[in-house]
Amino acid sequence: MRYEIATPVTAYLIYRSHTHASLTPPGILTAATTATVHALHPSPLPFTLLVLFFLLGTSATKVKKDVKATLTLSSTGSHTRNAHSSTLGAIFSGGWNKTSEAHERRERQKKGTSTSTAGGQEPRSAIQVAANSACVSLLCLLHIYIYGFDNKERTGILVSNGCFGSVPARDVILAGIIANYAAVTADTLSSELGILSRTKPRFILSLKEVPPGTNGGVTGAGLGTGFAGALVIGVVSVLMLPVQCGGTVADKAGLVFAVGIWGALGSVLDSILGAAFQASVVDRKSSKVVEAPNGGRVLVTAPKEKGEKDEGRPSRLIGSGRDILDNNQVNFVMAASMTIGAMVLVGRSWDVPISALWTKV
Q: At 73, which helix (H) or strand (E)?
A: strand 73-74
Q: What is the pLDDT of residue 105?
A: 46
Q: Strand 289-291 relative to strand 73-74: parallel, antiparallel, unpaired?
A: parallel
Q: Has residue 244 got a pLDDT over 60?
A: no
Q: Which residues pair with 202 in a beta bridge?
A: 209, 218
Q: Which residue has the higher pLDDT, 329 or 315?
A: 329
Could you tell me the pLDDT band of residue 243, with boundaries at 50, 70 and 90?
low
Question: DSSP state, 183?
Answer: H
0.85 exceeded by pTM: no
Q: What is the pLDDT of residue 163?
A: 55
Could you tell me the pLDDT band of residue 114, with boundaries at 50, 70 and 90?
very low
Q: Dump the DSSP string for 33-52.
A: HHHHHHHHSSSSHHHHHHHH
- Top-confidence range, 35-44, 102-111, 229-238, 280-289: 229-238
Name the 3-class secondary structure at 224: helix
Q: Has residue 145 got a pLDDT over 50?
A: yes
Average pLDDT on 294-317 reads 63
Name the 3-class secondary structure at 317: strand
CA distances from 96 to 12, 73, 264, 279, 297 (A): 32, 19, 29, 14, 7
Q: Dump the DSSP string for 130-155.
A: HHHHHHHHHHHHHHHHHH-S--SGGG
pLDDT in tens, 22-37: 788 888 999 999 999 9
Q: What is the pLDDT of residue 81?
A: 34
pLDDT in tens, 195-233: 999 899 999 999 999 999 999 999 999 999 999 999 999
Angstrom distance (rounded) from CA 35 to CA 46: 9
Q: Has residue 42 got a pLDDT over 50?
A: yes
Name the 3-class secondary structure at 193: helix
Angstrom distance (rounded) from CA 247 to CA 344: 23
Percent of the chain with pLDDT over 90: 37
Average pLDDT on 171-176 reads 89
Q: Has residue 43 got a pLDDT over 50?
A: yes
Q: What is the pLDDT of residue 167?
A: 62
Mean pLDDT of the chain: 79
Give me the residue spans of the domains in the chain: 3-358
Q: Has residue 79 got a pLDDT over 50?
A: no
